[in-house]
Amino acid sequence: MEVQFKEKKAYMHSGALKKIFAGEGTLIIILAVLFVVLSIVSSSFLTLNNLSNLVRQTAITGVVSIGMTFVIISGGIDLSVGSVVGFSGIFATILMKSGMDMMLAIVISVVLSSLIGLVNGFLIHDGKVPPFIATMGMMAIVRGAIMLMSGARMIAGLPKAFTNFAQTSILFMPSLFFIWLVIILIAAFITRWTTFGRNVYAVGSNVEAARLSGISIRATLYKTYILSAFTSAVAGILMTSRLGNGIPTGGQSYEMEAIAAAVLGGASLSGAEGTILGTVLGAIIMATLRNGGNLLGVNPFILDISIGALIIIAVLIDQNARGRK
Amino acid sequence: MSEFGNELIRMENIHKSFPGVKALKGVNFSLREGEVHGLVGENGAGKSTLIKILTGAYQKDEGEIYINGKQVEIKNPIQAKKLGIGAVYQDITLAPHLSVGENFFLGKLPKKNNLIDWNRIHKTTSEILKELDIDVNPRTLVKDLTVAQQEMVMIAKTVYENARIIIFDEPTALLANEETEELFRLIRTLKENKIGVIYISHRLEEIFTICDTVTVMKDGAWVNTLPVERINQDELISMMVGRSMEDMYFIKHPERGEKVLEVKNLTKEPRFRDISFDLHRGEILGLFGLVGSGRTDVVRCIFGADPYDSGEIRINGEKVEIRSPLDGIRHGISLLPEDRKKQGLALALTVSVNTNLASYNMISRWGIINLRKEKKRAEKYVSELSIKTPSILQRVRNLSGGNQQKVVISKWLCRDSRIFIFDEPTVGVDVGAKGEIYKLFEKILSEGNSIIIISSYLPEVMGLADRIVVMREGRCTGILNREEFDDEKILRYATVAT
């Protein structure tokens, strides 16, 4: 019995451990090095205040990148996430301002925003529209809808309970980070332990082989894009809480951040590669660089250029290492 | 041997090692002008390593190479090309969206007054194609050609690039029987032009048809080189593996039981029409025909991969509607597709995932997988089918063809299927692995299941099947019982319009 249990644990971890030290190990090392260097070079880096801020900033786009990871693994891409973030935020704001109960407003907004994912899934699977085009179109449509709903103006006057949330902590962690953590754990569970998780990888690797193995491509793609929209919707709520007002331009460029985090974390745009842990590390590394850059007074534009270059170099190295196999 | 010309290639004492394995152990090989020299051996025997050294893809560790009598070092593929060495592989390296002419001049389009000289391109290409008797219009886009035509164009291109030595690696894998004849005619033309041909194939009867000489390799070593007329197929196989071919197809057939599958008047215009046949428990039904006769289309419809127009399918006597792969699977049907890489496997994923791919619902509850069962199943089949892989977490793309095929088979064994449909299961699989796959058929039958096998390889179908259904251009032209098996008769059903 004892041996069986150990074996079981070993298996569940050995696969994971091996994987970690293959791909994500490099990322962990990079992150560790960054932390060490920055704490030496800047006295304010390793403070509770700074780290809480870093984590709060990352959490919002971090949540979006979790859903994006699934989409990329499936071999697709979702450019509409930024707009869904904005939509969910504005819609919830409008509902709350009309007097609706806060929690109800949030739930309705998230559910409605997730349906945008359903539309994406339908266009992509049934309409056979390439994901890039379908989600790009939705990005424009949804952003247009946001502008219509909000009159292109900031909406103030949100309930205090709502706007305070972003500043609170749960179990000694900033609430924003806590929510992100919960989503990370659920997503990681899905990728390792569920049939749906396996199906996403299978579809990303070879759609026809997956179909001929009896996997429902429709169900898998619908769920994937709905998941992406869902995480974006949640991020929209968090963002609005942090900003304190309903901002119609909220969420713009979030798709870029999300894609960058996933790709830095090892996801491949041709599908079937990528892990939740990798994406999370990718997001944190980028956020740490920005945070460090700010503390050191580096010109923010130079920072942008550097991060862009970093992403390209990271993928370059990864592709060439892969190509050898 | 006097009909051959000057010596083109002489390789002496070639050694090559890779980390952990000695691929070539002092191999000798030679080729003369006008000689068609076959190279046979199991996967792993060293054939492709030897060839890759000739084409410059690998560097030898030791030994000498002489081309046209002069000692050379072939450092890279460009040098090999300059020495007149050309190769035609199974994967066709033409640009599909460009025309035949453009492909011929890829990288060196001739110009006239700084504009592309299309006239010259088409004229030159036409001449070359005509010389080799290939009936293809140089303006046609490569993707619009049949696979056989694409291969012919590849050969023509290689010849045009002044190859004096052409290496063919499994050239007939994608060709139909009559197209193979075309290929052989082309090779004979090459012979007349004093080109030396190296011919690698697992289809031994081809070696006997087209080759003058044959070299056998085994485990990285040279075994023998003989004129083809001095040896027969059994002896050749014995040299390759130490086993006779007759044995290979001999598997135990259990007693034939009741009908498990009845196909009645299945039709899907324009692919096939009025196909009817039965399958019994414990039976292997061979589905034979030329490429394009509609066999794959029929089985895909039975499985549910494609929709059909009309007709009836009965499983165990009951009429069923099969509209998707999931339907087929639920009724106990498995399909091993012809193109295992494109349709049978998720190459980027592991042996473990691919093995369980069609049956996760059997080891999960509410969508949550029992990881221990996932692992156990993969290990079970790796062991039972002798799949050569360092671990079940190895990505399938790193396995050899035969082992990849075994993974696809494991996928369906996990499913408790009753009817196994194998579409060209041993293409590109070496003799040793073939034998193992046939033994697997025996096991499948012994457990009360049935097999439909599509094969274009007549000896295989005749050796394995209890009955053969022959198709031609979408129609069923004959159904024969084992006692009636006759190769001429079967080929006639497959090729001649009734």
Each residue of A33-46: pLDDT tens digit?
A: 988 988 888 888 88
pLDDT of residue A94: 94
**pLDDT surpasses 90 at A324:** no
pLDDT of residue B92: 67
B375 contact residues in A (CB cutoff 8 A) = 11
Whole-number Å distance between alpha carbons of B11 and B309: 58
Whole-number Å distance between alpha carbons of B189 and B225: 24
Contacts of B75 (CB under 8 A, 6+ apart): B56, B59
Distance from CA of B147 to the nearest CA of A (A): 21
Q: Which of B284-288, B345-349, B482-486 has the lowest mean pLDDT?
A: B482-486
Tokens of residue B399, six digits? 């396995």
pLDDT of residue A2: 39
Contacts of A28 (CB under 8 A, 6+ apart): A20, A281
Whole-number Å distance between alpha carbons of A110 and A106: 6
Contacts of A322 (CB under 8 A, 6+ apart): none
Residue of A172, A168, A190 lying closest to A66 (CA atoms): A190
Helix pair angle (A81-97, A254-264), 10° resolution: 130
Residue of B225, B250, B247 lying closest to B236 (CA atoms): B225
- Beta strands, E only, B377-449: 419-423
Which residue in B348, B367, B411 is closest to A213 by CB distance?
B411
pLDDT of residue B246: 60
Domain ranges for chain A, please list them.
58-316
A312 CA to centre of own chain:
19
Tokens of residue B211, six digits? 């080759």
Over residues A214-257, the pLDDT tens digits come to 999 999 999 999 999 999 999 999 999 999 999 999 999 899 99
Over residues A49-82, the pLDDT tens digits come to 888 888 888 999 999 999 999 999 999 999 999 9
Q: Which amino acid is at B290?
A: L
Mean pLDDT of B139-162: 84
Over residues A162-191, the pLDDT tens digits come to 988 888 888 778 889 999 999 999 999 999
pLDDT of residue A157: 87
pLDDT of residue B167: 92
- Average pLDDT over all residues of chain B: 87
Tokens of residue B54, six digits? 């000739």
Contacts of B83 (CB under 8 A, 6+ apart): B67, B72, B74
- Identify the DSSP state of B395: B
Confidence label for A12 from pLDDT (cuts 50, 70 and 90): very low
B358 contact residues in A (CB cutoff 8 A) = 213-215
> Helices H, strands E: what count in chain B?
17, 24
Q: Do A206 and B345 touch (CB under 8 A)?
A: yes
pLDDT of residue A218: 96
**pLDDT surpasses 50 at A14:** no
Residue of A68, A277, A58 lying closest to A185 (CA atoms): A277
Residues on chain A bordering chain B, Cβ-to-Cβ distance under 8 angstroms? 8, 11-12, 15, 18, 192-196, 198-199, 201-202, 204-206, 208-216, 271-273, 325
Q: Which of B299, B350, B355, B360 to mutate to test the interface with A (most CBs of A within 10 A)?
A: B360
- Identify the DSSP state of B253: -
Number of Cβ pairs closer than 8 Å across A and B? 85
**pLDDT surpasses 90 at B354:** yes
pLDDT of residue A323: 58
B389 in Cβ contact with B415 (< 8 Å): no
Residue of chain B with shortest Cα separation from A15? B393
Whole-number Å distance between alpha carbons of B241 and B3: 31
Over residues B436-458, the pLDDT tens digits come to 888 889 989 988 999 999 988 78
Tokens of residue A211, six digits? 């179909």
pLDDT of residue B324: 93
pLDDT of residue A3: 39
Tokens of residue A215, six digits? 């996997």
Top pLDDT among B376 and B153 is at B376
Contacts of A237 (CB under 8 A, 6+ apart): A88, A89, A92, A106, A109, A110
Other Cβ atoms within 10 Å of B74 Cβ, number: 22
Confidence label for B319 from pLDDT (cuts 50, 70 and 90): very high
Contacts of B292 (CB under 8 A, 6+ apart): B176, B473
B152 in Cβ contact with B186 (< 8 Å): yes
Residues on chain B bordering chain A, Cβ-to-Cβ distance under 8 angstroms? 303, 305, 325-326, 329, 335, 337, 342-349, 353, 356-358, 360-361, 364, 367-369, 371-372, 375, 393, 395, 397-398, 411
pLDDT of residue B290: 78
pLDDT of residue B253: 84
Tokens of residue B493, six digits? 């059903």
Let me know if B407 is exposed, middle or buried by CB neighbors in 10 A (0-12, 13-18, 19+).
Answer: buried
**pLDDT surpasses 80 at B147:** no
Which residue in A12, A198, A214 is closest to B325 by CB distance?
A214
Q: Which of B329, B339, B343 to mutate to test the interface with A (most CBs of A within 10 A)?
A: B343
∠ CA(B158), CA(B162), CA(B168), 5° rounding? Answer: 35
B329 contact residues in A (CB cutoff 8 A) = 214
pLDDT of residue B121: 87
Q: Which of A199, A213, A217 to mutate to test the interface with B (most CBs of B within 10 A)?
A: A213
Which 3-state string (H, E, C) describes A93-128? HHHHHCCCCHHHHHHHHHHHHHHHHHHHHHHHHHCC
pLDDT of residue B305: 94
Top pLDDT among A64 and B488 is at A64
Which residue in A18, A194, A206 is closest to B346 by CB distance?
A206
What residues are paired with B32 via a beta bridge?
Answer: B7
What percent of chain B is predicted at pLDDT more than 70? 96
Confidence label for A150 from pLDDT (cuts 50, 70 and 90): very high
Which residue in B329, B361, B398 is closest to A325 by CB distance?
B398
Over residues B35-66, the pLDDT tens digits come to 999 998 876 678 888 988 999 988 999 999 99
B47 in Cβ contact with B207 (< 8 Å): no
Whole-number Å distance between alpha carbons of B422 and B406: 12
Contacts of B59 (CB under 8 A, 6+ apart): B53, B74, B75
Mean pLDDT of B246-272: 86
pLDDT of residue A315: 79
Mean pLDDT of B321-333: 93
Q: Which amino acid is at A201?
A: Y
Q: Is the backbone peptide bond immediately before B270 cis, with ω within 30 degrees of 0? A: yes
pLDDT of residue B421: 96
- Identify the DSSP state of B157: H
Confidence label for A125 from pLDDT (cuts 50, 70 and 90): very high
Contacts of B493 (CB under 8 A, 6+ apart): B470, B472, B477, B478
Whole-number Å distance between alpha carbons of A237 and A90: 9
Confidence label for A307 from pLDDT (cuts 50, 70 and 90): confident
Q: Which of A106-110, B237-241, B311-315 has the lowest mean pLDDT?
A: B237-241
What residues are paired with B213 via a beta bridge?
Answer: B37, B227
**pLDDT surpasses 80 at A85:** yes
pLDDT of residue A321: 67
∠ CA(B123), CA(B128), CA(B134), 5° rounding? Answer: 110
pLDDT of residue A128: 95
Over residues B187-210, the pLDDT tens digits come to 998 898 889 999 998 778 889 999
pLDDT of residue A113: 96
Whole-number Å distance between alpha carbons of B57 and B89: 14
**Most confidently modeled of A118-127, B26-35, B87-96?**
A118-127
A19 CA to centre of own chain:
21
Helix pair angle (B401-413, B431-446), 10° resolution: 10
A58-316 CATH, one of 1.10.150, 1.10.3470, 1.20.1440, 2.60.40? 1.10.3470
Confidence label for A317 from pLDDT (cuts 50, 70 and 90): confident
B357 contact residues in A (CB cutoff 8 A) = 198, 202, 209-210, 213, 215
Q: Which amino acid is at B114?
A: N
Q: Do B360 and A195 touch (CB under 8 A)?
A: yes
Whole-number Å distance between alpha carbons of B228 and B459: 20
Whole-number Å distance between alpha carbons of B424 and B405: 11
**pLDDT surpasses 50 at A20:** no
Which 3-state string (H, E, C) describes chain A? CHHHHHHHHHHHHHHHHHHHHHHHHHHHHHHHHHHHHHHHHCCCCCCHHHHHHHHHHHHHHHHHHHHHHHHHHCCCCCCCHHHHHHHHHHHHHHHHHCCCCHHHHHHHHHHHHHHHHHHHHHHHHHCCCCHHHHHHHHHHHHHHHHHHHHCCCCECCCCHHHHHHCCCEECCEEHHHHHHHHHHHHHHHHHHHEHHHHHHHHHHHCHHHHHHCCCCHHHHHHHHHHHHHHHHHHHHHHHHHHHCCECCCCCCCHHHHHHHHHHHCCCCCCCCCCCHHHHHHHHHHHHHHHHHHHHCCCCHHHHHHHHHHHHHHHHHHHHHHHHHC
Other Cβ atoms within 10 Å of B370 Cβ, number: 15
Whole-number Å distance between alpha carbons of B344 and B410: 11
Confidence label for B88 from pLDDT (cuts 50, 70 and 90): confident
pLDDT of residue B135: 83
Top pLDDT among B407 and B219 is at B407
Distance from CA of A183 to the nearest CA of B (A): 17
Let me know if B258 is exposed, middle or buried by CB neighbors in 10 A (0-12, 13-18, 19+).
Answer: exposed
Whole-number Å distance between alpha carbons of A100 and A284: 36
CA-to-CA dists, residue A12 to A7, B92, B366, angstroms: 9, 42, 20
Q: Which of A306-310, B4-8, B405-409, B433-437 has the lowest mean pLDDT?
A: B433-437
Contacts for A36-45: CB closer than 8 Å, 24+ residues apart? A38/A288, A38/A291, A38/A292, A38/A295, A41/A292, A41/A296, A42/A292, A42/A295, A42/A296, A44/A295, A45/A291, A45/A292, A45/A295
What three-state secondary structure class fits B406? helix
Whole-number Å distance between alpha carbons of B120 and B127: 11
The pTM assigned to this predicted structure is 0.75
**C-alpha gyration radius of chain A:** 20
**pLDDT surpasses 90 at B327:** yes
Sign of dihedral through CA atoms B79, B80, B84, B87?
negative
Confidence label for A15 from pLDDT (cuts 50, 70 and 90): very low
b/e code B89-122 from CB counts within 10 Å (16+ = b): beeeebeeeebbbbbbbeeeeeeeeeeeebeebb
What residues are paired with B38 via a beta bridge?
Answer: B199, B214
Whole-number Å distance between alpha carbons of B374 and B364: 9
Confidence label for B145 from pLDDT (cuts 50, 70 and 90): confident
Confidence label for A8 from pLDDT (cuts 50, 70 and 90): very low
